Amino acid sequence: MAKFVIQQKSPQELTQENVSTLTEWTTDEGWGPHQRPFDISHMYSGPPYMDAKAFLGFLDYKMIGHAAFFTSGKGGISTDVMEYITMFIVEKPFRGKGYGLKIWNTMWETMDKNANICLDAAPNMVTKYESMGLKPEWDNREYIIPLSAIAEKYKMTENIRDVSTKLLSEVEFEKFAEYDAKIYGLCQLVFIKRWSTLPNSFTWVAVNGNGDVVGYITIRESINKQDTTVGPLYADNLEIAKKLIYTASQTMSSQTSSVKNLRMFIPTGGSNAIQMIESDFGIKCGPNFVRMYSKKHKVDLNKVIAINSPGYG
C-alpha cells in the first residue's frame, strides 16, 4: 500500500527541488504566467526570513501536494495579525483522492485562529471556504494593457507638479514601509523587503514636494517575457497612479524590447481604478479571483489600485 506523509517545513528548509516542482505546478495550472521561478525561491529563502510554514505531501517519497501560509503584522501599527494562505495545490493525477484535504487539515490545525486568515479563492471555491468561516471581501480583476497604449494615454502625467517618481533605493525604506502599512492596515516589513527586491523587478515610489510618500508601484518581468506584472500599486489618487503606471511602462520599454504589456490585478469596490482602466483603454474583464478573510480587514481600498499577485496579498 502506498504511504502518504505530510512534512511541515520552514522556508529555509525547502529544497531547490521542492521549489522547482511547485513552480512547475503553479505555472501549469495557469496561476503563474506572471511568475518566474525565482519568485518562489526568493520569497522563501535567505534572510530576512518570512514567518512562514509549508506543508508538503509525499506519496511514496514523491511530492504530490503543497500548502503554505505566512504571518504578517507582529509588532506593527495595529494589534492585527494576518495569516495568508498561499499556493495550496495538488498535482493533477492525485486530485480527488483525499490527499489535498489531508494537507489542508494539517495546515489548518496549525494556524492561529485568533489571527485574521486570508486567501485568494477561485470563484468556484468561495462556497467551500465560506463553510470554513472565511468571508468574501472583494473581487479582483485581471487586465493586460499594451505598453504602447499607456505611452499614448498617460504621457501627460510627466507634467504633474509636486510629485516625482524615484527608485526605492533613493527613498528612506522606513517611509516606504510606513506608507505600505498605512494603506494595507498591517505591518508587512519582512514581506515587502523581499517582494520589492525580487530579481528583474523595479519599485518606483511617488514623493510629493514635502518628501512624503504618496504612492508606489512594483513591477517585474513575467515568465513569458511579453508581459510585466504590476503589484502592488498604491496611490493617494488616480492621477498619481497614472504617473506611476507610465513610469513603469517606460522603464520596461527601455529595459527590453520583448515586453509588450502591463498586467494588473485590480480590486473591485475601491478606487474606481477599474472604471479608469476600462474607460482609458477600452478593456472589459470579469472576476478573476476573490479575496476572503476570516475577519473584517481595514484596508484602504480607495488607495489600492492593484494588488500583488494572487496568493501574495
What is residue 38's predicted lDDT score, i.e. its pLDDT? 46
Question: Which DSSP symbol is given to 153?
Answer: H
What is residue 228's predicted lDDT score, i.e. its pLDDT? 83
The b/e string for 49-88 (b: 16+ C-beta within 10 A; e otherwise) is ebbbbbbbbebeeebbbbbbbbbbbeebeeebbbbbbbbb
- 63, 16 Cβ separation under 8 angstroms: no
What is residue 27's predicted lDDT score, i.e. its pLDDT? 76
C-alpha cell at 20: 522547482
What is residue 158's predicted lDDT score, i.e. its pLDDT? 82
Average pLDDT value for residue range 227-244: 92
pLDDT-derived band at 257 (thresholds 50, 70, 90) equals: low
Percent of the chain with pLDDT over 70: 87
C-beta atoms surrounding 206 within 10 Å: 25
pLDDT-derived band at 33 (thresholds 50, 70, 90) equals: very low
Which residue's C-alpha cell is 494537507? 103
Is the domain covering 140-306 a CATH 3.40.630.30 domain? yes
Question: What is the Cα Rg of the chain in Å?
Answer: 19
- Helix (H) / strand (E) element for 39: namely helix 37-44
> Three-state SS for 185?
coil
Burial class of 3 by CB neighbour count within 10 A (0 to 12, 13 to 18, 19+): exposed
The b/e string for 8-21 (b: 16+ C-beta within 10 A; e otherwise) is ebebeebeeebbeb
In this structure, which topology does domain 4-137 adopt according to CATH?
Aminopeptidase (3.40.630)
User: Taking the domains of the chain in order of start, what are their residue ranges?
Assistant: 4-137, 140-306
Domains 4-137 and 140-306 share a fold: yes
Report the predicted TM-score, pTM, of the whole model to 2 decimal places: 0.87
What is residue 32's predicted lDDT score, i.e. its pLDDT? 54
Rounded to the nearest integer, the mean pLDDT of the chain is 86
Dump pLDDT digits (tens) for 187-211.
Answer: 887 788 878 777 778 899 999 999 9
> Which residue would you say has higher pLDDT here, 52 or 104?
104
